[in-house]
Chains A and B, each alone.
Chain A
Amino acid sequence: MSVGIVSGFHLNLNDNTSRWRKNYNLIRCCNSRRNWKKAATQKNYYELLGVSADSSAQEIKEAYRKLQKRYHPDVAGQKGHELTLKLNKAYEVLMEKERRRKYDESIGQMRVRFAENGTLLGYSTWNGPLRPRALFVDENACIGCRECVHHARNTFIMDEAVGSARVKVQYGDANQKIEVSVESCPVNCIYWVETEELAALEFLIQPQPKEGYGVFGGGWERPKNVFTAAKSLNQQLKRQAETGNNQRTGGDFEETSAQAEARANASMKMKMGSVLKIWNWVKDTFGMNANQG
């Protein structure tokens, strides 16, 4: 009897075949690792918006607006409600840097963004203008003591998953606080680096999935010496730029915008089908008049 309500209630409408699993989700909601579990069972936000995982905020915004214009209830009627809810959710998460990063981690997407000119986008943001020197934590050496986070909380954060500190905002605190935090590191793993090198360093220090062979290997790895690795990566990028070979190395495949749109439309139609089914059921059962303003 309460199937319709339950599925509406649990936010998951994309697969109405396994309703017991949905209830299972709800129970996990109170779990501390809620975000991980939830994300794993839901449709990928990138798929929903029909964009690739390394798309920029601008691309996401445009895709979002395009889809809204087609499926917003003002245009598509009440049947667009569920889909628009999901679009809003996806947009909300992907438009915020920190939340997007967490989401990417949770779905196992490593977002490697090579900008047009062949430079890498790093992790940290800048408070104020770009300066010639930047802070960088060698996470291979970091012991996770939290001293730096304690002294300059706006600059460093603790990555609980990896167990090491990281620079979140360059110059996020007053200079003096930053000095103190650098001094306080018991293993001296906080470095002042050239700003040009920062992006490559920050990219390389993120653990990368390691290819496995049968039962051997697998897992995650990062270069032993991140500084030499960054130098060679930078050189490589420079060579690429010179030869005009600016291909993205992050994505597995390239999609033309027409292809992406077609794919998005197709998946949308499938989802709309299931949404409609539930909606009609709810309407029939409860006689809800959804169009009443």
Chain B
Amino acid sequence: MAEPAYTVASDSETTGEEKSSSTFPEIAIGVDIGTSQCSVAVWNGSQVELLKNTRNQKMMKSYVTFKDDIPSGGISSLLSHDHEMLSGSTIFNMKRLIGRVDTDPVVHASKNLPFLVQTLDIGVRPFIAALVNNVWRSTTPEEVLAIFLVELRAMAEAQLKRPIRNVVLTIPVSFSRFQLTRIERACAMAGLRVLRLMPEPTAIALLYGQQQQQTSHENMGSGSEKIALIFNMGAGYADVAVTATAGGVSQIKALAGNTIGGEDLLQNMMRYLLPESESLFESHGVKEIESMALLRVATQDAIRKLSSETSVQVDVDLGNGLKICKVVGRNEFEQVNRKVFEKCESLIIQCLQDAKVEVEDVNDVIIVGGCSFIPKVKNIVSSIFKGKQLYEGMNPLEAAVRGAAVEGAVASGISDPFGNLDLLTIQATPLAIGIQADGKSFVPVIPRNTTIPARKDLVFTTIHDNQREALIIVYEGEGDKVEENHLLGYFKIMGIPAAPKGVPEINVCMDIDAGNVLRVLAGVVMPGSRQPANRVMEVRMPTVDDGHGWCAEALHRAYGSTLDMVTVQKKA
């Protein structure tokens, strides 16, 4: 990695419990950094083992507290109560904010968190700050994650008694490639090398594949193919995958993901309990932050209780004469969050359609993640699958990290004498990748749900006579218009031979390798010629850095349509 190792002082020494681990030194660990909770697991030679912190917890809260300039994360520091965590000096929910610009609706929805998230709506990174001794200390999602990863790493190193360098991280399906680079950067800052970034449901698919392999000791390739639907909904994101598993090979048939999660349920509930909350807390004073925090904690508790009870009493004094005293029923909760649940439903249905799988063909339905405890979520899934029994045998909170640990072992080339690692996940692209052409249209070169490694090409041409240059602007997403998609980068092809418009053939090829690295190649061929007219450009994407939100607009202002292209032919 090019970035220098960035280490942050951690105030407390993590002393792991004595344990004889028979792990090989080079096994990558699996890390699941959730929006609210995180965990670490490793293949210990015969099975997956979750690492515990000094307080014997397997699940740790994902937050960093800034105090007197020495930040400390949720791994090592001990907080007496949630309230302290919400005093304005603690930053969390970074997984929702990483790699997003301040025009993103998700960033806007994060403004009522009990620390500062400020937007200027100009396409730059939002201003995020913690209140330390009455002064706003600015930070970035990458920094917060890095601090956190340093602590996770220290914890793992202390327990495994070896240096940790390689990690497999799980990520939401809906993350753009730009967001992935931010995760990679956070890892680099923490001195970690990313071996794989796995979409969360595919990690679960791998674990499922292993379980199937273990239960049926049949030879590989035997006809016992099993199709599973995996629905994973945590605090920040909801993801769906359809996987076909046989003989330890899990083939991801389709992926779908969205930025909906427990956090949305929480915010909708807070708004329901205190409709004017947003304007009340806008000034972000110490008092307001405290009230915001109290409301948050009380609402969170209420939602948790509603998973087992049909109604709950919310009784909280927010200070400043604000008091909430209300009985909330489960049906009210479901009504308030109707839209979120509808979105879950459509996500599952879309994924099934993309995978070309009928409800009846699905052998197992797996629901995991923090939100899988919510009765309504279970209802939605079981009504789609006509009351089918849900798959048991997976811990809803640990499945993703366990899958990541298995992938860590597989990708590190570890073999298991019992064939427990004789596994493979054949991944697919969650989002289409293409370029701008035909005006402001997004023309996908690699469609969504293409098996990777993948390589596809399309031919474009010039729109002006004697056009000598063409701009390749690479986007990722599902929208028909480029503005609806994520910008990944841009470069220019130069030296196109002078010719009437429509004559030069500009071949744009995209290649994604098994490590999910995207390369874009572009070359020009003149009809009748047998070799490229210029040097073929090969660019590794993404190339954009922070502030990219306004890049596309600036490009358009500067060049208009002078360097535009049109498609030569749509794929039949």
Contacts and interface: CB of A to CB of B under 8 A. Distances in A.
A69 B521 contact: no
Interface in A34-61: 35, 58, 61
A9 B521 contact: yes
B197 interface: yes
A88 B424 contact: no
Contacts of B513: 73, 78, 81, 290
B321 interface: no
A293 B197 contact: yes
Interface string B527-545: 1111110011010000000
A29 B572 CA distance: 12
Contact of A293 (B196, B422, B525): B196
Contacts of A23: 525, 529-532
A65 B454 CA distance: 16
Given A5-B538, A74-B425, A27 B527 contact: yes
Interface in A69-100: 69, 72-75, 78, 80-81, 84-85, 88, 91-92
Nearest to B452: A88
Contacts of A24: 530
Given A91-B451, A293-B197, A68 B426 contact: yes
A141 B246 CA distance: 47
A30 interface: yes
Nearest to A24: B530
Contact of A68 (B223, B225, B249, B457): B249
Contacts, number: 118
Interface in A20-35: 20, 23-24, 26-27, 29-30, 35
Contacts of A290: 513, 515, 517
B454 A6 contact: no
Interface string B439-476: 00000000000011111010100000000000000000
Contact of B454 (A58, A66, A80, A85): A85
A68 B424 contact: yes
Given A2-B535, A5-B521, A11-B455, A66 B221 contact: yes
A292 interface: yes
B193 interface: yes
B483 to A, nearest CB: 29
A61 B301 CA distance: 48
B141 interface: no
Interface in B478-537: 505, 507, 509, 511, 513-517, 521, 523, 525, 527-532, 535-536
B464 to A, nearest CB: 19
B352 to A, nearest CB: 17
A62 interface: yes
Contact of B536 (A6, A62, A66, A85): A6
Contacts of A65: 220-221, 246-247, 249, 251
Contacts of B220: 65-66, 69
Interface string B208-219: 000000000000
B370 interface: no
A5 B223 contact: no
A175 interface: no
A291 interface: yes
A73 B247 CA distance: 18
B410 interface: yes
B210 to A, nearest CB: 14
Contacts of B251: 65
B246 A9 contact: no
Chain B interface: which size bin? 35 or more
A68 B248 CA distance: 11
B355 interface: no
Interface in A250-293: 290-293
Nearest to B537: A5
Interface residues of A, number: 37
A5 B509 CA distance: 11
Contacts of A20: 530-531
B411 interface: yes
B569 interface: yes
A8 interface: yes
B412 to A, nearest CB: 10
B424 A293 contact: no
Contacts of B515: 73, 290-293
A62 B218 CA distance: 14
B298 interface: no
Contacts of A35: 572
Given A5-B538, A69-B220, A27 B525 contact: yes
A199 to B, nearest CB: 24
A194 B516 CA distance: 52
A85 B195 contact: no
A81 B453 contact: yes
A8 B523 CA distance: 12
Contact of B451 (A6, A75, A80, A92): A92
Contact of A30 (B221, B410, B459, B531): B459
B509 A9 contact: yes
B131 to A, nearest CB: 36
Contacts of B394: none
A72 B426 contact: yes
B410 A74 contact: yes
B568 interface: yes
A23 B526 CA distance: 11
Most chain B beta carbons < 10 A, residue from A26, A65, A78: A65
B158 interface: no
A293 B196 CA distance: 6
Contacts of A72: 424, 426, 514
A5 B455 contact: no
Contact of B195 (A73, A84, A293): A293
A65 to B, nearest CB: 5
B85 interface: no
Nearest to B427: A74
Nearest to A84: B453
B538 A293 contact: no
Interface in B399-425: 410-411, 422, 424-425
A74 B530 contact: no
B455 A69 contact: no
Nearest to B194: A293
Nearest to B522: A9
A6 B530 CA distance: 11
A73 B424 CA distance: 10
Interface of A: 2, 5-6, 8-9, 11, 20, 23-24, 26-27, 29-30, 35, 58, 61-62, 65-66, 68-69, 72-75, 78, 80-81, 84-85, 88, 91-92, 290-293
Interface of B: 1, 184, 193-197, 220-221, 223, 225, 246-249, 251, 410-411, 422, 424-426, 451-455, 457, 459, 505, 507, 509, 511, 513-517, 521, 523, 525, 527-532, 535-536, 538, 568-569, 572
Closest 10 CB pairs of A and B: A73-B514, A23-B530, A293-B194, A62-B221, A65-B249, A88-B451, A293-B515, A5-B536, A85-B455, A84-B453
Given A9-B509, A9-B532, A85-B453, 10 more contacts: A6-B523, A6-B536, A9-B457, A65-B220, A69-B422, A69-B424, A73-B513, A75-B424, A85-B455, A88-B453
20 contacts: A5-B521, A6-B531, A9-B509, A11-B455, A11-B457, A23-B531, A27-B527, A30-B459, A61-B225, A65-B251, A68-B249, A69-B220, A74-B514, A88-B451, A88-B454, A292-B1, A293-B196, A293-B515, A293-B516, A293-B517
